[in-house]
Amino acid sequence: MRECRMSTRSLFGYFRFLSDAKKEVAIAVIMGVVYGLSSGFGVPVILKYSSGILFSGQEVKGTVLITLTLLPMVVMWIRGVSGLLSSYYFAACGQHIVEELRMMIFKKIQRLHLGFFNDCPPSELISRSVNASTIIQTNLVDISHDIITQPMALLGAIIYLIYICIQQSDLVILLLFLAALPIFIFPIRKIGQRLRKKSGQMQGRTAAIIDKLNHNLAAIKEIRAFGLEEQEVVCYRKACHGFSEAFLKVIKYQLIISPIVEVISAIGVGFAMFYAYERNLKLEIFMSLATALYFGYDAIKRLGDLSNKIQNSMAAVDRIEVILSEPEKIHDPEDPISVDKLHGDIAFQDVSFAYLKNRDVLKKLTVTMQHGKTYALVGSSGAGKSTFVNMVLRFFDPDRGSVTIDGIDIRAMLKHDLRRNIAYVPQDPTLINDTVYNNIIWGKLDATREEVIAATQKAYAHDFIMQMPKGYDTLIGEEGNCLSGGQQQRIALARAFLRDCPILIFDEATSALDSESQHAIYMAIKSLARNKTIIMISHRFSMMSIVDEVFVFSRGEIVEQGSHRDLLMGDTLYRKLYEKQQVMKS
């Protein structure tokens, strides 16, 4: 599992996604400025002006009285409406950013090399791409709103303090207020640094919970068969407890800012009261002064909370950047060779490849495959068969040598052009929780219903599909759990037949079929082989009669090559593998 690392990318770097939401940004910023200034400056000014007249001891009547009583209401109405509009439009901007961020992550995942998914399993990717972006989304609204409104409120309070100090010819209060700002900043910065680290740890614990739940659901039958339910509960509780500990540490650092600011603020307000008494300030001046101090200190407290949210979001950014900064190893060429329909002649020329350094899985492999023939790859597990077909699909590039189709190096083609000429059927096909029809049409999105039915007939799937409650419109459940293993494989085969590509790759694609269905599928494959290049990875020797040539793999090399009949005649590894399977059958 990949470790989180501190990102050099700023959270605010994602604000570039707002380039097409300029209207919303403008409204949000303008309303934020209005809200901040009406709080820190507008309220104290109106309070001083109104209370100074209303409580002066002189009689106030008529329009003046109505105006004085309405003014605070108007200011608060302006403050409320501007705050509402600012919050809404900042929320819209934040949602737009997160939507674009999630799309950027998803697109990146589509381009990453397959080796990345070994280090970063699905549960970890879900945590990084979904949970981390949700944390950013949650915080971004408050961050965007407060980063405008609170500095404006603080600025408005300072402006009003300057005004009062000049009016009273006394700068003591202003100087003391400004001197207190560094006292606020130091703990906010230190706590924020710790919070970012703890938040990253908490998000890692979230990934552990998802991972544990994912594994439990994937192995639910085995867990019950072996009576491991209680052990699973213990393990899951341990993961949840680890998250709770990390969560409480984050909460501790998030909450500690508020009491620190409030204690310092209380000292400031206490001093203001003492100073007002000593200087014999008028009530309206003291009230407006206290209000300005309140809004100023409240802005500082909220900026402290804002700092925490930024650090919390930066921990999420660190996790997302593990995905976004991962290099893309399989690139499209800058000047690709235009490819339409390939013929299907495949050649490996001195190909070597290693997943880990100095541990070759394929070793100086040189072999050719001709259009119109069927090839079988056999050998023990780990011999290099799956890596061989991964090279044809260009899931990985050779460390040395080249793979060509029709004499063209596949690295010179666009990946899309290459792969639309190949149909691939894995041993464990992926089916989605949708209808049978929509699962098959993956092979060719613009296929007609007649083409789909023709493909299922070739795959000997049409009859069992028609026996289902709604035929082709029957939902097959999550990962096809409403189908048997053999039915799932026939759906995947139909998908490949529908694609009608010059190259077909079957990776143990008939392992779950019964003997009768397997024979029928082999006959269908044989009929297709006249105009296609077919590569089959198989441990079943019963299908070798339809194969033109067998490649026997051992430790990354093709050690034997020939027809099924020829390879059985000598003292070959192929014959030993064949005899071993016959013994196991008996």
Q: Residue 551 pLDDT more than 80?
A: yes
Helices vs. strands in the chain: H and E counts, helices first: 19, 10
End-to-end CA distance of the chain: 44
Is residue 199 within 8 A of residue 312, CB to CB? The reply is: yes
Q: What is the mean pLDDT of residues 269-285?
A: 68
Q: Coil, helix or strand for 510? A: coil
pLDDT at 73: 82
Q: Residue 517 pLDDT more than 80?
A: no
CA 516-517-522 angle, to 5 degrees, is: 100
C-alpha 554/C-alpha 381 separation (Å) is: 9
HSE on the CB side for 429, CA within 13 Å? 32
Q: Residue 375 pLDDT more than 50?
A: yes
Q: Residue 179 pLDDT more than 60?
A: no
C-alpha 537/C-alpha 389 separation (Å) is: 9
The model's confidence at residue 368, banded by pLDDT at 50, 70 and 90, is: very high
Q: What is the mean pLDDT of residues 81-88?
A: 86
C-alpha 541/C-alpha 376 separation (Å) is: 10
Is residue 3 within 8 A of residue 204, CB to CB? The reply is: no
Spatial CA neighbour of 425 closest among 534, 340, 520: 534
Q: Kindly state the helix (H) or strand (E) to which residue 417 belongs, with its residue range.
A: helix 415-419
Spatial CA neighbour of 137 closest among 147, 148, 129: 129
Between 171 and 460, the higher pLDDT residue: 460
The model's confidence at residue 295, banded by pLDDT at 50, 70 and 90, is: confident
pLDDT > 70: percent of the chain: 81
Tens of pLDDT, residues 461-507 = 898 899 988 999 998 876 666 787 778 888 888 888 888 889 999 88
Q: Residue 409 pLDDT more than 90?
A: yes
pLDDT at 76: 83
C-alpha 25/C-alpha 95 separation (Å) is: 12
CB contact burial 417-426 (16+ within 10 A = b; e otherwise)? bbbbbbbbbb
C-alpha 500/C-alpha 497 separation (Å) is: 5
Q: Residue 388 pLDDT more than 70?
A: yes
Is residue 32 within 8 A of residue 90, CB to CB? The reply is: yes
Spatial CA neighbour of 173 closest among 303, 290, 38: 290
C-alpha 131/C-alpha 384 separation (Å) is: 37
pLDDT at 8: 41
The amino acid at 315: A
C-alpha 549/C-alpha 540 separation (Å) is: 15
pLDDT at 246: 80
Tens of pLDDT, residues 188-214 = 666 766 777 777 777 777 777 777 777
Q: In the beta sheet, which residues pair with residue 550?
A: 376, 562
* Domains in the chain with CATH codes: 11-324 (1.20.1560.10), 336-421+502-586 (3.40.50.300), 427-500 (3.40.50.300)
C-alpha 409/C-alpha 244 separation (Å) is: 53
pLDDT at 391: 93
Residues in the chain: 586
Q: Residue 262 pLDDT more than 90?
A: no
DSSP class of residue 475 equals B
Between 274 and 416, the higher pLDDT residue: 416
Is residue 558 within 8 A of residue 348, CB to CB? The reply is: no
C-alpha 299/C-alpha 306 separation (Å) is: 10
Name the pairing type of β-strands 359-369 and 503-507: unpaired
Nearest 5°: phi and psi at 255?
-85, -20
Q: What is the mean pLDDT of residues 274-300?
A: 72
Q: What is the mean pLDDT of residues 327-335?
A: 86
Question: Positive or negative CA dihedral for 292, 295, 299, 305?
Answer: positive
Average pLDDT, the chain: 80
C-alpha 477/C-alpha 492 separation (Å) is: 15
pLDDT at 89: 85
C-alpha 563/C-alpha 553 separation (Å) is: 14
The secondary structure of the chain in percent helix, strand, coil, rounded to multiples of 5, reads 65, 10, 20
pLDDT at 348: 96
344-358, 499-513, 543-557, range with the lowest pLDDT = 499-513
Which segment, 138-147, 297-306, 462-471, is predicted with the most confidence on average? 462-471
The amino acid at 392: V
Cβ partners under 8 Å of residue 71, min gap 6: 46, 49, 50
Starting at the edge strand that comes first in sequence, how are the strands of the sheet with 557-562 ordered? 422-425, 503-507, 533-537, 374-379, 549-554, 557-562
46-60, 407-421, 484-498, range with the lowest pLDDT = 46-60
Name the pairing type of β-strands 533-537 and 374-379: parallel
C-alpha 521/C-alpha 462 separation (Å) is: 13
C-alpha 396/C-alpha 388 separation (Å) is: 10
Q: Residue 177 pLDDT more than 70?
A: no
C-alpha 313/C-alpha 309 separation (Å) is: 6
C-alpha 514/C-alpha 485 separation (Å) is: 10
pLDDT at 169: 66
The model's confidence at residue 52, banded by pLDDT at 50, 70 and 90, is: low
pLDDT > 90: percent of the chain: 16
Nearest 5°: phi and psi at 432?
-105, 160
C-alpha 454/C-alpha 472 separation (Å) is: 13
Q: What is the mean pLDDT of residues 336-350?
A: 92
Q: Is 379 left (phi over 0), alpha (psi -120 to 50) or beta?
A: left
C-alpha 464/C-alpha 459 separation (Å) is: 11
Is residue 131 within 8 A of residue 16, CB to CB? The reply is: no
Q: What is the mean pLDDT of residues 438-447?
A: 88
Cβ partners under 8 Å of residue 245, min gap 6: 205
Report the 3 state secondary structure along 195-218. Answer: HHHHHHHHHHHHHHHHHHHHHHHH
The model's confidence at residue 252, banded by pLDDT at 50, 70 and 90, is: confident
Question: Which residue's entry shows tokens 């949970």?
Answer: 131
Between 302 and 500, the higher pLDDT residue: 500
C-alpha 20/C-alpha 564 separation (Å) is: 63
pLDDT at 545: 77
Q: In the beta sheet, which residues pair with residue 554?
A: 557
Alpha helices in 500-572, H assignment, sequence order: 515-528, 564-569
134-138, 487-491, 513-517, range with the lowest pLDDT = 513-517
Nearest 5°: phi and psi at 357?
-60, 135
Q: What is the mean pLDDT of residues 442-459?
A: 89
Q: In the beta sheet, which residues pair with residue 397?
A: none
